[in-house]
Structure 1
Amino acid sequence: MRTFLVPLAAIAVAAAPAAAQGNDLAAVQRFLAAAETMTADFSQTDRNGRVLTGALTLKKPGKIRFQYQKGVPLLIVSDGKAFTFIDYSVKQVQRWPIGNSPLGVLIDPSRDISRYAKVVPSPNPDVLSVEANDPKHPEFGRITMVFARDASAPAGLMLQGWVALDSQGNRTTIRLNGQKFNAPVSDGAFRWTDPRRQGRSG
Structure 2
Amino acid sequence: MNTILKSFRTLAFAGTALALSATGLSALSTPALAQAARSPQIDQAVGALRAIGTMRADFVQTDRGGQSISGTMTLKRPGRIRFQYQKGVPFLIVSDGSALTMIDYEVRQVQRWPIRNSPLGALLDPNKDVARFATLNPTSHPDVLSVTVKDPKHPEYGTITLVMTRNAGAPGGWQLDSWIALDSQAKRTTVRLSNQQYGIAVPDSTFRWNDPRPQVRH
TM-score range, shorter chain: 0.7 to 0.9
Structure 1 counterpart of 2:187, one-letter code: N
Give the deviation of 1:116 after TM superposition: 1.1
Does the CA-based 8 Å contact 2:100-2:113 persist in structure 1? yes
Does the CA-based 8 Å contact 1:25-1:113 persist in structure 2? no
Does the CA-based 8 Å contact 2:122-2:151 persist in structure 1? no
Structure 1 counterpart of 2:202, one-letter code: V
Does the CA-based 8 Å contact 2:54-2:201 persist in structure 1? yes
Partner residue, 1:102: 120
Give the deviation of 1:122 after TM superposition: 1.1
> SS in structure 1 opposite 2:39?
helix
For residues 32-111 of structure 1, the aligned pairs below 5 Å read 32-99=49-116, 100-102=118-120, 105=123
Deviation digits for residues 171-190 of structure 1, max 9, x if unmatched?
11000001011222111111
* TM-score (normalizing by structure 2): 0.76
Residue 174 in structure 1 maps to residue 196 in structure 2: no
Distance 1:180 1:41, change over 3 A: same
2-structure distance, mates of 1:48, 1:42: 18
Residue 113 in structure 1 maps to residue 130 in structure 2: yes
Which residue, out of 130, 138, 147, partners 2:155? 138
Give the deviation of 1:109 after TM superposition: 6.6
1-structure distance, mates of 2:126, 2:200: 17
Kindly report the root-mean-square deviation, in angstroms, between the aligned alpha carbons of the 2 structures.
2.1
Deviation digits for residues 8-31 of structure 1, max 9, x if unmatched?
xxxxxxxxxxx9971011111111
Identity %: 55
The answer to which structure has the higher helix fraction is 2
Structure 1 counterpart of 2:180, one-letter code: V
Does the CA-based 8 Å contact 2:119-2:156 persist in structure 1? no
Distance 1:121 1:147, change over 3 A: same
* TM-score (normalizing by structure 1): 0.81
2-structure distance, mates of 1:49, 1:34: 33
Q: Across the two proteins, how many residue pairs are aligned to each other? A: 179
- Which contiguous aligned blocks of 4+ residues in structure 1 show a shift greater than 6 angstroms? 107-110
Residue 149 in structure 1 maps to residue 149 in structure 2: no
Does the CA-based 8 Å contact 2:122-2:130 persist in structure 1? no
Does the CA-based 8 Å contact 2:37-2:43 persist in structure 1? no
> SS in structure 2 opposite 1:64?
strand
Deviation digits for residues 33-54 of structure 1, max 9, x if unmatched?
1112110000000122110000
Deviation digits for residues 124-156 of structure 1, max 9, x if unmatched?
222101111222111011111100011221111
